[in-house]
Amino acid sequence: MKRNLLSGAVACLFGLLLLIGGFCTTGQEKAKIEIKKATTRLARDEKKERINLGLNHHFLQYNLEEWREVLALLQQSGTKWVRMPIYWHEIEPQKGKWNFARLDAFVKDLHRARIRILGMLLGVPSWANGVEPTGEGPEGWATVYPPLKDEDWANFVSTIVRRYRGRISHWEIWNEENEYYFFRPQPDPARYLRMLKAAYRACKQADPASTIVLGGLAFNGIVANPWSPMKTENYLPALYKEGAKEYFDAVAIHPYFLPQEGLERLAYLLSGTKQAMKEAGDEGKPIWITEIGFAVNPALGVDEEAQARLLTEALNYLKKDPQIESVFVFTFQDWPRDIFGGEASMGLITWERRKKAAFLAYKKLAHEAN
């Protein structure tokens, strides 16, 4: 209906402009301009209706029996996408010794359920980076140090992409590489670019039709994380200056904001990313929001109903932006405990798998989006 109405309006506008212009060149040029504007508006309207709405979820924490129960809940949510971390250190804990059993099962089940996967590639094993874990918390993580040899990383990427070609076509390269806790010993655009290049080339060789998403940047890739022990600003512009533009198909960000900051903060974060893309001549690429969500926090006045309302407001705002192609809510299920703050209450379902108000809110939005 929308297409027919708009097409009719364009036709009427074309005739009117020709009549006013007396069939002269000026009238025709004006008509062409207006038709182009109307076509652009139609394309944007259609694109907004096709937004990919998905969920973050950590799959490898389950045995297969638990997984099937969670899969049923995922299907009930109406989601058509999930963002799945695929950890190198879990899949190839020793060089040349691969462990695909659980990952194969997850991918097979999701494919059968017609839920598409954004595969997030990360997590370097100790044999590849020479770093041993020193503790349980983020400070002790060894898997966030880059590999010593880019060819080992490229081999992992190529192996995964080839194995799941036809079932996974979208790949995100790392996670929050501009954040101290996820890229050690410190965020380094030049070092990350080496990994991005190697991954991009490996992906495209293994599956030329694959889509490569930049590792989701904390906040917007411009502002620093105020809670991080190491403040990193303007990471995305620095990455562009290093020459990263040719090695990804979509920019990804995590524009978290506090409830009291409101949608104005979200708009501010998005504008910063877009400005950096524009200055790099990369404004034509889509933006993927690979994490956004809200914790239940009584201290901030956020109960489960408020969580659902905040999520609905944010997603309704984002889906109106024609440059935003995909949005992944963090997270589907509460974590058993907080790591950085909030993860134990950000889910649409609790750790015990009770549905929250946010589950129903997401289900409604997923039906509209997909």
What percent of the chain stands above pLDDT 70? 86
Of 251, 271, 261, 244, the residue nearest 326 (C-alpha): 251
- DSSP secondary-structure letter at 165? T
Q: Which amino acid is at 105?
A: A
pLDDT of residue 63: 83
More confident residue, 211 or 23: 211
149/72 Cα distance (integer angstroms): 40
- Using alpha carbons, list the distances in angstroms from residue 364 to 67, 192, 221, 331: 24, 38, 30, 17
pLDDT-based confidence at residue 18 (cuts at 50, 70, 90): very low
* pTM of this structure: 0.87
Rounded average pLDDT over 199-213: 98
User: Residue 233 pLDDT > 90, yes or no?
Assistant: yes
Residue keyed to tokens 């901030």: 300
**Can the peptide bond before residue 185 be classed as cis, meaning omega within 30 degrees of 0?**
yes
pLDDT-based confidence at residue 59 (cuts at 50, 70, 90): confident
**What digits encode the pLDDT tens for the residues 115-141?**
999 999 999 999 999 999 988 789 899
Contact status, residue 347 vs residue 329, Cβ threshold 8 Å: no
More confident residue, 313 or 59: 313
Rounded average pLDDT over 349-356: 97
pLDDT of residue 361: 98
More confident residue, 8 or 86: 86
Q: Which amino acid is at 313?
A: E
Rounded average pLDDT over 184-213: 98
Rounded average pLDDT over 219-243: 96
Report, in angstroms and rounded to the nearest whole number, the Rg of the chain calculated over CA atoms. 22
Rounded average pLDDT over 343-347: 96
Which residue stretches of the chain are H helix? 2-20, 25-49, 64-77, 88-91, 101-112, 126-129, 150-163, 189-206, 235-241, 262-279, 304-318, 357-369
User: Residue 2 pLDDT > 70, yes or no?
Assistant: no
158/155 Cα distance (integer angstroms): 5
pLDDT of residue 62: 83
Own/partner contacts of 350-356, CB < 8 Å, gap of 24 or more, are 353/69, 353/70, 353/73, 355/73, 356/296, 356/304, 356/307, 356/308
47-51, 63-67, 254-258, 345-349: range with lowest mean pLDDT: 47-51
Q: What is the largest CA-CA distance in the chain?
A: 79
Contact status, residue 250 vs residue 238, Cβ threshold 8 Å: no
Residue keyed to tokens 């649409």: 348
- DSSP secondary-structure letter at 42? H
Of 124, 129, 64, the residue nearest 90 (C-alpha): 124
What percent of the chain stands above pLDDT 90? 80
157/201 Cα distance (integer angstroms): 10
Structure token digits, residue 94: 């020793």
**What digits encode the pLDDT tens for the residues 144-156?**
999 999 999 999 9
pLDDT of residue 23: 34
